[in-house]
A and B are shown apart, each in its own frame.
Chain A
């Protein structure tokens, strides 16, 4: 990674960390369980790196490890979004909806 790209990446990480702090702080404790399952699903974006590895045909071991990684991450994508939505559907207010 050239120096510029490295500094850029560090800036992105720092800004995203601060942003995460501000955004997550505002999530109601009511929704902390869906918060964790949703961030988990979003974190499974690592599947993108795994896909690139599994499809690059660079070396047999890399393809195998990449494929296993796709399985692990994509199962998180599917189950994470699924369960988060199931949980959120259950939260109902006693006040009539507008």
Chain B
């Protein structure tokens, strides 16, 4: 039991203060005006806890700690400096690192203590390494898909769910055997190995559009595994931090699933992208109206209220800075411009807000779905850039549509709808969008960045005459 905290009261008090600072940190994060204070509180708490730990009685050798901290900082700095478009994969990678730490510590603890591990400790220790193991490889897979090192397409096969559930069941069965007899040292690697494999298999069938939910879910698992580690080490600070992280990930997963009108199990076991291959055939006959940049600029200049709906396609085209120019030039002409942000726009929760904030668009112009939907009927122009499924009115009306029931941005209620799109190819999920065939809809065919740039040129050129 060398890992339990020593009786030095002042270290316990340091941990108590750190815990309070962590809670304050998240409280301050609730609004943009106080959020940075939240980061400072978190940093202070973390610094206090780490320094306090260095004075722990059990620590006699500082060499390896120093090496670990230096290497961690060397890896951490570049990961903290990535571009904003790469934030989802960085986040997935950091879930993997967190889970990796937890799994390694859990493994070491088991071999140090076995066979004298009390039943409760062995149960939480098993939970720690099973959750840690599957989060480690699962997050690595997610990061690989987001970075496009791995195919983003969902990979499915017959009996997939059965295989996955079977693997999880075997891991849990080994955990039970270890709880009953912690002396089975050779069973432990099997439990860890199956969890690692399970993490891979869990993410294999998941496509890019489901990433916001999956990242949130992995976030929750990472937190729970850290809390389990807190139980093993009897560290209340770690239990609190893990519980906060776990509940945060859980809330975000619920929000993301609701925004896609899908259940957790459906995200994990559904392989969304597979379903729609048949839907693409019946499209050809319908006609669309298209417009040039000049015509689009004219309509925008005449509007008094414009709502821009950005999607992941805007980020892929790196068009956010051009969009900012459009925002500037329209605002200067007295047009009221706001942005409608769907909860699952982007590749992780809140991703689109970060990308637009990076382009210097004021955050009070970024409106949530419910707020923008009450504005849209009084809107002159809804301009859609790189978003598709989240604007699809079939989600409201067509019970046969795979996205039926998903809450969408009601852009079809605006007086004019403009959609910037490369071609008429259906979007990621392969679902046809009836929005494009409405009389009030104008299709602006072209690259998002180039087309927005052309509109901006027309608008600012016009002001010189």
Residues of A that sit less than 8 Å from B by CB: 1, 5-6, 8-9, 12-13, 16-17, 19-21, 23-59, 61-63, 65-95
A54 to B120, CA, bound (A): 25
Describe A's contact surface by its main secondary structure: helix
In the complex with contacts A44-B98, A47-B101, A76-B94, A83-B87 CB distance below 8 A: yes
Chain A nearest CB from B66 CB (Å) reads 9
Q: Is B305's CB within 8 Å of the partner chain A?
A: no
13 CB < 8 A contacts A-B: A29-B368, A30-B363, A36-B91, A38-B38, A40-B94, A47-B101, A51-B53, A52-B53, A55-B54, A71-B72, A75-B76, A92-B360, A95-B362
Q: In the complex, what residues of B have CB within 8 A of residue A50's CB? A: 68, 101, 104-105
Q: In the complex, what residues of A have CB within 8 A of residue B341's CB? A: 29
In the complex with contacts A20-B244, A30-B366, A73-B97 CB distance below 8 A: yes
Q: In the complex, what residues of B have CB within 8 A of residue A5's CB? A: 234
Chain B nearest CB from A38 CB (Å) reads 6
Q: In the complex, what residues of A have CB within 8 A of residue B68's CB? A: 50-51, 54, 66-71, 74
Cross-chain contact A42 with B46 (CB below 8 angstroms):
yes
Cross-chain contact B100 with A72 (CB below 8 angstroms):
yes
In the complex with contacts A29-B368, A33-B353, A57-B101 CB distance below 8 A: no
Kindly specify which of B78-86, B164-172, B383-391 makes contact with the partner chain.
B78-86
Cross-chain contact B101 with A72 (CB below 8 angstroms):
yes
Q: Is B349's CB within 8 Å of the partner chain A?
A: yes
Q: In the complex, what residues of B have CB within 8 A of residue A25's CB? A: 251
Residues of B that sit less than 8 Å from A by CB: 2-4, 18, 22-23, 25-27, 29-33, 35-36, 38-39, 42-43, 45-46, 49-50, 53-54, 56, 58-62, 64-65, 67-69, 71-73, 75-82, 84, 87, 90-91, 94-95, 97-98, 100-102, 104-105, 107-109, 111-112, 118, 120-121, 215-216, 219, 222-223, 226-227, 229-231, 233-249, 251-252, 255, 341, 343, 348-351, 353-354, 357-358, 360, 362-366, 368
Q: Name the residue in B23, B76, B247 with the highest tally of chain A Cβ atoms < 10 Å from its Cβ.
A: B76
Q: In the complex, what residues of A have CB within 8 A of residue B118's CB? A: 1
A20 to B244, CA, bound (A): 5
Cross-chain contact A82 with B80 (CB below 8 angstroms):
yes
A40 to B139, CA, bound (A): 13
Q: In the complex, what residues of A have CB within 8 A of residue B73's CB? A: 74-75, 78
Cross-chain contact A37 with B104 (CB below 8 angstroms):
no
A65 to B106, CA, bound (A): 10
Q: In the complex, what residues of A have CB within 8 A of residue B79's CB? A: 75, 78-79, 83
A71 to B249, CA, bound (A): 23
Chain B nearest CB from A53 CB (Å) reads 6
Q: Which listed residue, B35, B101, B226, B230, touches A9 by the CB 8 Å rule?
A: B230
Chain A nearest CB from B107 CB (Å) reads 6
In the complex with contacts A16-B243, A33-B349, A53-B3, A40-B229 CB distance below 8 A: no
Q: In the complex, what residues of A have CB within 8 A of residue B35's CB? A: 31, 34, 88, 91
Cross-chain contact B80 with A88 (CB below 8 angstroms):
no
Chain A nearest CB from B287 CB (Å) reads 37
Q: In the complex, what residues of A have CB within 8 A of residue B78's CB? A: 79
Q: In the complex, what residues of A have CB within 8 A of residue B229's CB? A: 46, 49
Q: In the complex, what residues of B have CB within 8 A of residue A86's CB? A: 80-81
Cross-chain contact A42 with B22 (CB below 8 angstroms):
yes
Chain A nearest CB from B4 CB (Å) reads 8
Q: In the complex, what residues of B have CB within 8 A of residue A67's CB? A: 64-65, 67-68
Closest to B244 in A: A20
Q: In the complex, what residues of B have CB within 8 A of residue A37's CB? A: 87, 90-91, 94
